[in-house]
């Protein structure tokens, strides 16, 4: 993505499920953002972005509802709740505090 200029403060990737540690570091260094869409990821079974790890690394994170093909309600309040709950499983109950 860097070779074609698709990084920087004006770039946001949707989902961000498959980034490795080095790529997460580069996202933070370049100011590239991730739009987290947990309802879509859960419905499709595609995985969950490592948001607590990304936040710790300094990656800019936004929250999205994705489209109707993978999120029927586009309910932003539900998306916030899912983001809170899904990251508490397998990490720590404090991994995603409501204030984040």
Confidence (pLDDT) at 22: 97
pLDDT tens digits for range 27-53: 999 999 999 999 888 888 989 899 999
Query: What is the distance between the alpha carbons of residues 63 and 57, in angstroms, rounded to a whole number?
Result: 17
Pair of tokens at residue 69:
């093909």
Domain housing 23? 7-86
pLDDT tens digits for range 10-26: 999 999 999 999 999 99
Confidence of residue 69 (pLDDT cuts 50, 70, 90): low
**Contact partners, residue 44, CB within 8 Å, separation at least 6:** 70
Residue 92 belongs to some domain of the structure = no
Count: domains in the chain: 1
Residue 98 belongs to some domain of the structure = no
Confidence (pLDDT) at 100: 60
- pLDDT surpassing 80 at residue 79: yes
């Amino acid at each position: 993505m860097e070779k074609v200029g698709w990084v920087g403060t004006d770039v946001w990737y949707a989902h961000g499920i498959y980034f490795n540690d080095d790529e997460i570091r580069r996202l933070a260094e370049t100011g590239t953002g991730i739009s987290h869409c947990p309802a879509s990821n859960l419905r499709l079974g595609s995985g969950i972005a490592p948001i607590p790890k990304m936040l710790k690394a300094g990656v800019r994170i936004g929250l999205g509802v994705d489209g109707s093909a993978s999120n029927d309600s586009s309910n932003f309040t539900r998306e916030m709740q899912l983001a809170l709950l899904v990251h508490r499983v397998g990490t720590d109950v404090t991994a995603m505090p409501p204030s984040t």
